Amino acid sequence: MVNSVTFPVLSLLIFIPIIAGVIILFIPRDNKDLIRGIAITAAFSVFGLGLFTYISYNNTVGEMRAAQDAIIAEGGDLTGTRLYDTTLVFEERVVWVESLGITYHLGVDGLSVPMVLLTSMVTITGVLVSWRVEDRTREFMAFFLLLVAGVFGVFVANDLFVLFFFYELAIFPMYLLIATWGWVKLREYAAMKLTLYILIGSVVALVGAIAMVLQANNFFINEGAQVFADAVQSGLLPADSQEFSFSITQLTLAAEAGAFDLPFLGDLSFARLWFPFIFIGFAVLAGVFPFHNWSPDGHVAAPTAVSMIHAGVLMKVGAYAALRVGVQLMPDGAQVHLPWIVFLTLINVVYGAFIAFRQRDFKYVIGFSSVSHMGLVSMGWATMNLIGMTGAGLQMFSHGAMTALFFGCVGMVYDRAHTRDIPSLGGFIKVMPWVGVAFIVGGLTSMGMPGFSGFVAEFPIFVGMWNASPNISLQIGDFVLSNYYSVLVILAALGIVITAAYVLRVTGQVFFGEFKRENFPDVTDITLRERFVLIFLGAPLLILGLYPQIMEPMLVTGLRPVLALLGVST
C-alpha cells in the first residue's frame, strides 16, 4: 500500500544524521559547542520524525486492522504477502542498480515503527550523555550519527540489499567509537571481537540472501511465472518489477508461493538448508548463544552513549533482521529449525542471568542481563504464534529503553565514582537520588513487575510458549520430542527469578547501604541534562507497562503477515 504522503520521512531519518555528521566533520575541531549543537539538533529532528511516524501509524492502525481482517476473511493463496503489503507505509522507491534488481525501497510496518521510535529516543539520550566527551568531539559525534543512520536504515529498508548495506554501514562506526573512546583496558580487544563476530554472521547471511534472490528469480521465470504476472497485474508488485529482485515484498511473495520449498540440494529445500545460517547469522547481533560472547565485552568497553545504542537498539537490529529475513522469507525453514533453536534461546535466558548474578563489575551485570533478555526476544520468535511474537515485539522496545536507561545510570555513576566494582560502591541513592530511582524503575522492568513494560512483554512470551507447546515437535532421526515448550517455559521462568535476584543485589549494594564519602569525595548529584535523559528513557517503561494498547495493535498488524506465512491463523 503506497501511502499518499510525498514527504520522504524515512529518507530524512537516514539522511539527517548522515548530513549532520558530514557537516560536523568540516567544523574546526575546537568549536565544540557548535558541534554539539548540530548533533543535538539532528537528534531532535530525527526524534520528531520518529514520533511523527509512530503517531501517524498509530492513527491508521484501526483501519489497517480492518483491511487486514477483510483480507484474512477473503483468504486465498497470497494472504501473507497481501497483509504485508497492507501494513507497509511511508514507502519510497527509487531504482538503484537496475540490472541486479536493487531498489532503494523504504517502508515501515507495524514491527519497525516502534523500533524507529526507540532508535530516535536513544539517539537523543546518546548525544546528551556524550555531552562531556572532550577528546576529538568532532569525530565522536560524526561517527555516532553515522551509526544512527545505519541503524535507521536497517529498520526502514524494504529491500534486502539495502538492509545489508545499512547493516554493514552501522558496524564500522561502532568499531571506531568503541576502540577510540571506550574503556582503556578492554576497548581494542572488545571492539575487534564485536566487529568480527557480527560481520561473520552477516556476510554468511549475505551470501544466503543472494542465493535466495536467485532461487526466487528461477522460480518466477519458470514455475511461478503466472504468480509473478498476476502480482504485477494486481498491483501487489510495482509495474516495473523484474524477476531478479531484492525487494522484500517480492521475496515474501516467492516464499508464500513456495519458491523456497522446492528441492535445492538433494531433497533439502532452500528454506530448510539456509534458514539456520541466515537466522543465526543475524541473531549473532541479538546475542544468541553460543555467539553471545562479544556482547558483554562490547557493552562494557564502549563509551556510555555507544553502550546505550548498542544494547538498546543494535541488538534489536539483529533480532529484527532475523525475523524479517529469516522467518518471514523462509517460514518452512522456521518451522523445521526454530524448535531446536529455542534451546539456544533458553540457554541465553537462564545462563545469561546466572552469569549476570556472578559479576562484580556493575557494567558487566547489565551486559549479561542484555544477553538474558534478548534470549526472551528470540524465544518469542520461536513460539510462532501471535501472542508470543507480540510479546517479543514489546520486549524489543521495552528492553531497548530499559537497557539504555541502565547503561545511562551506570555511566553516570562511573563518571563520578571512577569505579564500577559493585562491592566498593554503596549508598549512592543518597547523593544521586535520580539515578537510584531510575535504576530501580529499570530493575523492576527487568524482573517483569506488573505495571512496568517488562511484564507486558515477558508474560505474553511465556503464555505464547505454553500455547505453542502442543503444536510443536522436534524430530531427531526416529525420535520425536513433543510438547516440550511447556518444560522450557518453566525453566525460562527460572531466569526471571535469577534476574530478580541480581537486580535486587546490585540495587542493594550500589544504591543502598552506607555511603562512604571518604572514598568518593567528588561524587555530586547529576545535572539537569542527565535528569532529562533518565526521564526520557524511564517514562516509556511505565507508560507502556500501564497502557500496552499504545503499541500492541501496531505490532499485531506487523506480525499478522509473518504468521500468515507460517500458516497460523490470527
Partner 1 sequence: MTEFNFLASLPAIAPEIGLTIMAVVVLALDLYLPESQRHRIATVTAVGLIGTALVSLALWAPTPDTTGLYWGGMVRHDMLALIFKVMILFAGALTALMAVDSAGVGRKGEFYLIMIVSTLGACLISGAADLIMVFLALETTTIPLYVLAAFKRGDARSSESGMKYFLFGSFASAILLYGLSWLYGFTGQTNLYAIAEYLGSPAFSASAFPVLAALTLIVVGFGFKISAAPFHFWTPDVYEGAPTPVTAFLSVASKAGSFALLLRFLVATFPGAVVINGQEIQNFWVQLVTVLAVISMTFGNVVALAQRNIKRLLAYSSIAQAGYTLIGLAAVQVSSTSNGEQAVAAIAYYMFMYTFTNLLAFAVIVLFSEATGTETISDFAGLSRRNPWMALTMTIALLSLAGVPPAAGFFGKFFLFNAAVQADLVWLAIVGVLNSIIALYYYLVIIKVMYVDKGKDEDKPIPMSPTYVWATAGTTLIVVLLGTFGVQPIFDWALQAGRALLNT
Binding site residues, partner 1, CB under 8 A: 25, 29, 95-100, 136, 138-139, 161, 165-166, 168-169, 171-172, 175-176, 179-180, 187-188, 191-192, 195-196, 199-200, 203-204, 206-207, 210-211, 214
Q: Which is nearer to partner 1, 44 or 277 (CB)?
A: 277
- Closest contact distance (angstroms) between CB of 106 and partner 1 is 15
Query: For helices 552-565 and 386-417, what crossing angle results, to 10°?
Result: 130
What's the distance, CA 565 to chain centroid? 21
DSSP 120-153: HHHHHHHHHHTTT--TTHHHHHHHHHHHHHHHHH
- Closest contact distance (angstroms) between CB of 199 and partner 1 is 6
358, three cell numbers: 556472578
Separation between Cα atoms, residue 551 and residue 57, nearest integer Å: 10
- Closest contact distance (angstroms) between CB of 264 and partner 1 is 10
Q: Which is nearer to partner 1, 144 or 397 (CB)?
A: 144
- Closest contact distance (angstroms) between CB of 511 and partner 1 is 34
Q: Which is nearer to partner 1, 274 or 536 (CB)?
A: 274
Q: Are 373 and 461 in contact (CB under 8 A)?
A: no
Separation between Cα atoms, residue 344 and residue 389, nearest integer Å: 17
Q: Are 296 and 367 in contact (CB under 8 A)?
A: yes
- Closest contact distance (angstroms) between CB of 166 and partner 1 is 8
- Closest contact distance (angstroms) between CB of 150 and partner 1 is 8
Q: Which is nearer to partner 1, 170 or 523 (CB)?
A: 170
- Closest contact distance (angstroms) between CB of 169 and partner 1 is 5
Q: Are 347 and 289 in contact (CB under 8 A)?
A: yes
- Closest contact distance (angstroms) between CB of 536 and partner 1 is 30
> If you search the block for the grid coordinates 524515512, which residue do you land on?
10
Q: Which is nearer to partner 1, 143 or 462 (CB)?
A: 143
Separation between Cα atoms, residue 189 and residue 187, nearest integer Å: 6
Query: For helices 528-546 and 453-468, what crossing angle results, to 10°?
Result: 40
Q: Are 346 and 275 in contact (CB under 8 A)?
A: no
Reference 404, options 376, 354, 445; nearest CA is: 445
Q: Are 93 and 238 in contact (CB under 8 A)?
A: yes
Q: Which is nearer to partner 1, 165 or 406 (CB)?
A: 165
Q: Which is nearer to partner 1, 171 or 492 (CB)?
A: 171
Q: Which is nearer to partner 1, 38 or 496 (CB)?
A: 38
Identify the bridge partners of residue 108 per DSSP, sorted by sequence position.
Answer: 89
DSSP class of residue 526?
P
If residue 474 lies in a helix (H) or strand (E), which one and from where to where? strand 473-476
Q: Which is nearer to partner 1, 15 or 343 (CB)?
A: 15
- Closest contact distance (angstroms) between CB of 101 and partner 1 is 10
Three-state DSSP state, 452: coil
